[in-house]
Amino acid sequence: MNKINFQYYKTKIGELILGSFDKKLCLLDFRYRKMRTTVDNRIRNGLNAEFIEQDDKILEKTREQIDEYLNGGRNKFDIPLLMVGTDFQKNVWNALMKVPYGATSTYLQLAKDINNEKAVRAVASANGANSIGLIIPCHRIIGSDGELVGYGGGLAVKKRLLKLEKNNNAMSDDEKYEFIGSRDTRYDGLFITAVKTTGVYCLPSCRAKKPNRENVIFYESKEEAMTNGYRACKICKP
């Protein structure tokens, strides 16, 4: 019988379950989540294998990298992965892996990334079925309105991970300025652009004409922009 080695691992974001098969990581997930049995069964059936509580080098390396990541000392994982799922799910997970550290995306954007704009619901469901958390960064997906949406590890953990990445990935104001005008939605939710001459605040992806550098001020949140007297842009509706 084929074997999936697994170990539980306690971390500051909760207890995880890690699994490896054929020297690749196939499972990195929260031990206690509603979909635990569903996910485990999918992996077991997909690999035609049984779970055995046993350690190995891949699991050891994964634990090290998780610790480094959670301490802010790592922004990329270097572990061979084995994704177990349908071709559609794998497409979504591969697209997810392209969302950079410190950035966020949405289900709609992911659907566009896999050239299947109408499949937003299926994309959301594939995102929820992700069994290699942190490395396949489903925590970087937020709602189109900037709200956090569900997470296997709970919303508090998701918020904590996004904050960790954001703090660790602070862009300089000049880098932010370079980025705006590209209409790229990756940093929506990470900072707000306010324009002194118009009194309006925007999402980084706003398609309005790019303001001059000296007229732009950056805030962390729309609340902060509002506190400073700015009002929401009618084009990007932040």
**Contact call for residue 235 and Zn ion (CB under 5 A):** yes
Pair 189, 220: CB distance under 8 Å: no
With respect to Zn ion, which residue has the nearer C-beta, 156 or 235? 235
With respect to Zn ion, which residue has the nearer C-beta, 98 or 231? 231
**Contact call for residue 194 and Zn ion (CB under 5 A):** no
> Which among 41-49, 56-64, 154-162, 228-236 is the span making contact with Zn ion, rule CB under 5 A?
228-236
CB of 233 to Zn ion, least distance (A): 3
Query: Among 26, 138, 202, 206, which one carries the catalytic annotation?
Result: 138
With respect to Zn ion, which residue has the nearer C-beta, 103 or 233? 233
CB of 201 to Zn ion, least distance (A): 8
**Contact call for residue 195 and Zn ion (CB under 5 A):** no
Pair 135, 25: CB distance under 8 Å: yes
Q: Distance (Å, rounded) from C-alpha 145 to C-alpha 123?
A: 17
Interface residue with Zn ion, options 123, 195, 202, 225 (CB under 5 A): 202
Structure token digits, residue 52 = 């055995």
CB of 235 to Zn ion, least distance (A): 4
Length of the chain: 238
**Contact call for residue 206 and Zn ion (CB under 5 A):** yes
Residues 43-82 interacting with Zn ion (rule: CB under 5 A) = none
**Contact call for residue 236 and Zn ion (CB under 5 A):** yes
Residues 121-150 interacting with Zn ion (rule: CB under 5 A) = none
With respect to Zn ion, which residue has the nearer C-beta, 33 or 186? 186
> What backbone phi and psi angles, to 5 degrees, belong to 110?
-60, -40
Q: Which residues contact 58 (CB under 8 A, 6 or more apart)?
A: 5, 20, 23, 24, 25, 79, 80
CB of 208 to Zn ion, least distance (A): 5
Q: In the annotation, is 236 catalytic?
A: no
Q: Which residues contact 226 (CB under 8 A, 6 or more apart)?
A: 201
- The 3-state DSSP class for residue 56 equals coil
CB atoms within 10 A of CB 103: 21
**Contact call for residue 233 and Zn ion (CB under 5 A):** yes
With respect to Zn ion, which residue has the nearer C-beta, 139 or 222? 222
Sheet holding 231-232, edge to edge: 216-219, 192-195, 200-202, 231-232
Q: Which of 11, 6, 12 is nearest to 60 (CA)?
A: 6
Amino acid at 128: G
* Residues catalogued as catalytic: 138
* Contact footprint for Zn ion (CB under 5 A): 202, 206, 208, 233, 235-236
